[in-house]
Amino acid sequence: MKTKAPVSKNERLDVTIADLTYQGMGVAKVDDFPLFIENALPGEEITIQVTKVQSHYGFARAISWQTESADRVKDVDKTYRQTGIAPLQHLAYPAQLAFKQHQIKELFSKAHQDVDVAETLGMANPTQYRNKAQVPVRMIKGQLETGFYRQHSHELIPLTDFYIQDPAIDDAIVKVRDLLRQFEIPAYNEISDKGVIRNIMVRRGYYSHEMMIVLISRQQKLPSQDQLVDQIHKALPEVTSIVLNVNAKKTNVIMGNVTRTLYGKPTIEDTLMGLTFAISARSFYQVNPQQTEKLYQMAIDKAGLTGTETVIDAYCGIGTISLALAKHAKQVYGVDIVPEAIEDAKVNAQKNHLTNVDFFVDKAEDQMIQWQASGIKPDVVVVDPPRKGLAETLIASTAKMGPKKVVYVSCNPATLVRDVARFQELGYEIDGPIQPVDQFPQTPHVESVTVLVKK
Ligand code: SAH
């Protein structure tokens, strides 16, 4: 049944913002009908104009403010909101941290669970933290530009300062852009499916300062490839790796399956928790190294290892958590779906002289079933899944193996709530407060560590 919305498109009205969504939009209710408004904070009284009405909710634009929130940061650059780079930059940092803590609490309470959530661990300087950039490339008025897409579109907004990225990475993007211009290498055009460069990815070791440049191209070979590569590492002395990734498909997926090293090594190295890690172009690596160390330290402390335990690290990536835990455990098993990540993980175990770790390429949900079938009895299972959370089969096979503890590192509280409920049905309960760690300041992303223990 369609109820009639109490507002219509283009209507102007005065509202008070009641809440902030998990995407960071303000919410105002008109006769219980929610309107979502960008750049609006709880408590603010705003004149809005309705921009879109759907059957159960609508969107509006803020026109003018009668009162502003005490937590509002003034004079922000609106490009970072338009591009979605920093959708929360207009909210003062302490309020961002409180918002993230509240998000977790709220989502559990909607699922009728009263949980204890600790204060979010934040950063002293919550900008310029990202160690990786992945930027689209476009021709605009005949000139190659780098920047970021306007939200919900593929319109490129040229940018040189990315605000939340390591400034050395911002600088590298500009230098690579200028060289692509100089050698007249055109950007890829999604509509005509012609042109060459689709994206530029840059990763820089936080401690090592080693830099990797990945050029994502529609073609197997770039025009003037040798000169370009030569000029890039001359312009950027930190560069120890230049990689070509070929993606010839008409797709939104950024990277293709072919990667070739054009200069230096296929990986860069960085350190984390005193361990050395090699990271290749296609492997996942946490983007905020300062906060990652806090997050992992928390996971390690909560695992409570004494040196005698068997540990499983599902979704292990390049083995960061696995190796950090291996120092305190008898045996660690890691699994990840990306073959390059597992190759990196094996190299990383050797680099750090850790021999009590075994890595496997597979879907975590399938590997767990195999481990369970082969009689492995882990004391601790660590999971660090992508946003979609855990497969039901993974939770079932974990519970069958019966570890004393499950340490759940989550980047999405919505799937965390769902998965915790499943663990509870299988005899586990939450132990201690859930600990949010701010991995993505200025954005609404919420990362947290939860410990589940067997009853
Ligand atoms: N713990 C690692 C990686 C976490 S990110 C770290 O902190 O660095 C999530 C990882 O899950 C990625 O490495 C991704 O490749 C992997 N992944 C995604 N889906 C998977 C699946 N179904 N099975 C196993 N690994 C998966």
The length of the chain in residues reads 455
Pocket probe mutation, ligand 1, options 273, 318, 337, 419, max atoms within 8 Å of Cβ: 337
Q: Catalytic: 316?
A: no
388 Cα to the center of ligand 1, angstroms: 11
Q: Phi/psi at 424 (nearest 5 deg)?
A: -65, -40
User: First vs last Cα of the chain: how many Å apart?
Assistant: 45
Residue nearest to atom 25 of ligand 1 (CA): 336
Ligand 1 within 6 A of 321 CB?
yes
For residue 1, what pLDDT is reported? 46
Q: Is 237 exposed, middle or buried (0-12, 13-18, 19+ CB in 10 A)?
A: exposed
List the one residue out of 221, 140, 136, 222 whose CA is nearest residue 179.
222
Could you tell me the domains of the chain? 12-70 (2.40.50.140), 132-266 (2.40.50.1070), 288-454 (3.40.50.150)
Measured by CA distance, the residue closest to atom 6 of ligand 1 is: 317
Q: Is 114 helix (H, G, I), strand (E, B) or coil?
A: coil
Whole-angstrom distance, CA of residue 195 vs CA of residue 155: 17
Instruction: Confirm or reject: Cβ of 83 under 6 Å from ligand 1.
Output: no
Q: Per residue in 10-64, pLDDT tens?
A: 999 999 999 999 888 999 999 999 999 999 999 999 999 999 999 999 999 999 9
**What distance in angstroms lies between residue 348's CA and the mean position of ligand 1's atoms?**
16
CA 193, 195, 196, 200 torsion: positive or negative? negative
315 close to ligand 1 (CB < 6 Angstrom):
yes
Residue nearest to atom 16 of ligand 1 (CA): 315
Nearest CA to ligand 1 atom 22: 363
Question: What are φ and ψ of residue 202, in 5° steps?
Answer: -130, 135
For the chain of 455 residues, list the mean pLDDT of each consecutive stretch of 10.
80 96 92 95 97 96 97 93 92 97 96 97 97 97 96 94 97 98 97 96 98 97 98 98 96 93 97 95 94 94 95 96 96 96 96 97 97 96 97 97 98 97 98 96 96 97
Distance in Å, CA 121 to ligand 1 centroid: 23
Contact 166, 131 (CB under 8 A): yes
Name the catalytic one among 46, 411, 430, 434. Answer: 411
